[in-house]
Amino acid sequence: MHLAGTVRLRSIPDRDIAIAMLKTAHSSCGDVGAESLSVIDELISTVAIGSVKDRLRILQRVSDLFVAGSHGYSRQQIELFDDVLQRLAIEIEVKARANLAQRLACVSNAPPKLMRMLAFDDAIAVAGPVLMRSEQLSDADLVENATTKSQDHLFAIAQRLKLSECITDVLVERGDHRVVHKVVRNAGARFSLAGYDKLTTRARYNRKLTLSLGQRSDIPRQYFLKLLETASASVRAKLEAANPQAAAAIRVAIDDVATAMQREVREVSGAARYAKYRFKAQPVTEANVHGPARMQEFEKTAVALAKLGRFPLDLVERALLDEGEGMILILAKAAGCSWSTVRELLVMYAAKRRLTPDDLTQAFERYKKLSQETASNIVKFHTRRMKLLAQQNAQAAKEAARSAAGKPSAGKKAAARAPSVSSRVAGLANATG
């Protein structure tokens, strides 16, 4: 059995230490009496030559003593209990260690070294209660545990009331699907941008994880958008496989729903509301883009760049998330941004571009050669194209709804009145032949 943090059984605790421990426990009851001295003698004898049964009995008595007055102990007093309880807990059976862990896990000032020893126990029956509930484990303890112990240990950690980013980073990196699902559903867990990035990647082929992740109120918008795109693709594939005839209508309907969901989430986003309010109160400048981009604030950056260049927000968000740098260069040039701001936009973490110094140098040369007029024309083209696609999607969605209701669509009515495209093409070919 491996117990990280275990102390080796040293020489018998001297009588003075044992007396000090009992004086600690009975400080409110006066001097140590004959009964307490009897417990001292029993403790010394048990640690020295006692059987496992004897050790269990005295362990129970000492733990009772600690729990009864734990709220009144000083740090030095708790250290005495910590030392004695560790020595007594060595080499006792799993069931007894599990009982001890269950009893002390919820004690806010439980002996810290003992709790760490129990948390690193290989037996999850022992470690689980401590990992889930003990306040005596530091973030460093939890990170080490999650890095080195079993999936059962990680699953227990994932259930703690609060988890910092450094801990969830390890859980997301090492955890199996059970651990990841549990920590994502933990409202007290906080994730770093790197953690959300890995979760979004893992959710690509996992519908259950996608739903759990999408329901988190703190998910950054850039990762919600990525999640939405992958979720839509997954749903689309399943629906198309079940009903190939409706594949086109399904694509249009899902894209339309996804766009509506993106706009809905954007409207309720606190960062987006703050940015819009701030930009109404004062003119937008390049500094409003540069600062948030440097701080990796995706939503504020997107709103600021859209306001600065008068671009559609959807277009800006897609450019910021695109792994290619071309559209960022075009939008920034059209908005009149300097290279220092463009560089901050390119190295934002959201798109995972991972540009090397040579890549940035090449991008800088392309940015210098690009004229603002050309960039503006390209943006106008993309804007018109987006509007056209939106109109087509809306029309196709109506057609799909009418077909589902069993009514003839406008397209079919038009087809009944007009020759088909293929017949017109054939006629044109004959005329030119």
Report the C-alpha gap between 116 and 129 in whole angstroms.
12
Of 108, 139, 159, which residue constitutes the final position of a domain? 108
| In-domain check, residue 231 | no
Average pLDDT over the chain reads: 76
**Looking at residue 66, what is its pLDDT?**
84
Average pLDDT over every residue of 85-108: 88
Mark residue 91 as left, alpha or beta (left: phi above 0; alpha: psi -120 to 50; beta: remaining): left
| In-domain check, residue 318 | yes
Of 362, 380, 398, which residue constitutes the final position of a domain? 380
**Looking at residue 399, what is its pLDDT?**
75
Provide the percentage of residues in the chain whose pLDDT is more than 70: 67
| In-domain check, residue 217 | no
**Single-letter amino acid code for the residue at 102:** Q
**Looking at residue 231, what is its pLDDT?**
63
**Looking at residue 417, what is its pLDDT?**
46
pLDDT band at 50 (very low <50, low <70, confident <90, very high): low
Identify the weakest region by mean pLDDT among 69-73, 129-133, 270-274, 378-382.
270-274
C-beta separation of 302 from 322 below 8 A: no
Nearest CA-CA partner of 45 in 53, 55, 34: 55
Q: In this structure, what token pair is assigned to residue 214?
A: 């999408």
**Single-letter amino acid code for the residue at 97:** R
**Residue whose tokens read 């001297």:** 14
Give how many domains the chain has, as a whole number.
2
| In-domain check, residue 142 | no
Report the C-alpha gap between 104 and 111 in whole angstroms.
9
Of 75, 108, 141, which residue constitutes the final position of a domain? 108
Reduced to 3 states (helix: H, G, I; strand: E, B; else coil), residue 254 is helix
Q: In this structure, what token pair is assigned to residue 392?
A: 């087509």
**Looking at residue 279, what is its pLDDT?**
52
What DSSP designation does 323 have?
S
Beta partners for residue 163, in sequence order: 189
Average pLDDT over every residue of 344-362: 88
pTM score: 0.60
Q: Is the pLDDT of residue 10 over 70?
A: no
| In-domain check, residue 333 | yes
| In-domain check, residue 66 | yes
H or E element that contains 207:
helix 207-214
| In-domain check, residue 320 | yes
**Looking at residue 180, what is its pLDDT?**
96
Q: Is the pLDDT of residue 121 over 50?
A: yes
| In-domain check, residue 433 | no
**Looking at residue 247, what is its pLDDT?**
47
Identify the weakest region by mean pLDDT among 24-28, 105-109, 198-202, 213-217.
24-28
C-beta separation of 98 from 123 below 8 A: yes
Q: What are phi and psi of 3, to 5 degrees?
A: -125, 100
Average pLDDT over every residue of 298-311: 90
Q: Give the domain range for residue 55.
A: 1-108
In Å, how far from its chain's centre is CA 137? 21
C-beta separation of 321 from 220 below 8 A: no
What DSSP designation does 149 have?
S
